[in-house]
Amino acid sequence: MTTNYSSVIYPGSFDPITKGHEDVIKRSLNLFDKVIVAVARNSTHAKDSLFSPYERVELIQELFDGQERVSAILFDGLLVDLAKELETLVIVRGLRAVSDFEYEFQMAQMNRYLLNQIETIFLAPDQQFSFLSSTLVREVAALGGDVSGFVSPLILTKISEKS
Ligand code: PNS
């Protein structure tokens, strides 16, 4: 397989994409030529979803409109199969705190078990985003709280259109 080490896959649920995710994308752009944001269609959080997977992809595309180095796609099935298909064998994930480590380490090891050539790298988002998660944004927004500090204005508008 010809491997593309100039691109990285950033997988996740992104429901919705937060400023923490955007920070990881920006940091990834310092290391890679291209960032492929891969939205998993079958997320573990599917039952409490705010945006459909397709809407999330559209939001990310709109957010990074004009930024040719960032693309967003929807994927089904295993992440390693997507990596093979894209010939991109590096995955990036944000690591906010020690509490993220166990889950992230399990996923990295499982992905390596499934595809030995895959490498997962972890980037620490800016400290101001260390407590931020899409789950909390969804919850606070659903209860009428202010999430303007946690998502970009475009996403904020789309959230308000949902409620
Ligand atoms: O943002 P999330 O919900 O923590 O992202 C989790 C995600 C989507 C990266 C993970 O569930 C995933 O890779 N799903 C695709 C299915 C898969 O490959 N599962 C095995 C990897 S451990």
Residue 47 annotated among the catalytic residues of the structure: yes
**pLDDT tens digit sequence for 72-115:** 999 999 999 999 999 999 999 999 998 899 999 999 999 999 99
**Amino acid at the residue 32:** F
pLDDT lower than 50: segments of the chain: none
In this prediction, residue 48 carries a pLDDT of 81
The C-alpha atoms of residue 21 and residue 93 are separated, in whole angstroms, by 9
CB 16 within 8 A of CB 158: yes
In this prediction, residue 77 carries a pLDDT of 96
For residue 2, how far is the Cα from the chain centroid? 25
The C-alpha atoms of residue 115 and residue 82 are separated, in whole angstroms, by 11
The C-alpha atoms of residue 161 and residue 9 are separated, in whole angstroms, by 30
Distance (Å) of CA 153 to CA 51, 63, 158: 16, 10, 9
In this prediction, residue 3 carries a pLDDT of 61
Establish whether residue 120 lines the binding site of ligand 1, counting it when its CB lies within 6 angstroms of any ligand atom: no
In this prediction, residue 53 carries a pLDDT of 96
The closest residue, in CA terms, to atom 12 on ligand 1 is 79
Mutate to test the pocket of ligand 1, among 78, 99, 138 (most ligand atoms within 8 A of CB): 78
In this prediction, residue 24 carries a pLDDT of 97
In this prediction, residue 96 carries a pLDDT of 92
Residue 96 annotated among the catalytic residues of the structure: yes
- Cα-to-centroid distance, 30 and ligand 1 (Å): 24
- Cα-to-centroid distance, 11 and ligand 1 (Å): 7
Establish whether residue 53 lines the binding site of ligand 1, counting it when its CB lies within 6 angstroms of any ligand atom: no
Looking at beta carbons, which pairs linking 45-49 to residues 24 or more positions away fall under 8 Å? 45/13, 45/15, 45/134, 45/135, 48/135, 48/138, 49/15
- Cα-to-centroid distance, 78 and ligand 1 (Å): 8
In this prediction, residue 46 carries a pLDDT of 63
CB 43 within 8 A of CB 18: no
In this prediction, residue 42 carries a pLDDT of 81
- Cα-to-centroid distance, 43 and ligand 1 (Å): 7
In this prediction, residue 1 carries a pLDDT of 65
Pick the catalytic residue from 28, 134, 138, 158: 134
Establish whether residue 11 lines the binding site of ligand 1, counting it when its CB lies within 6 angstroms of any ligand atom: yes
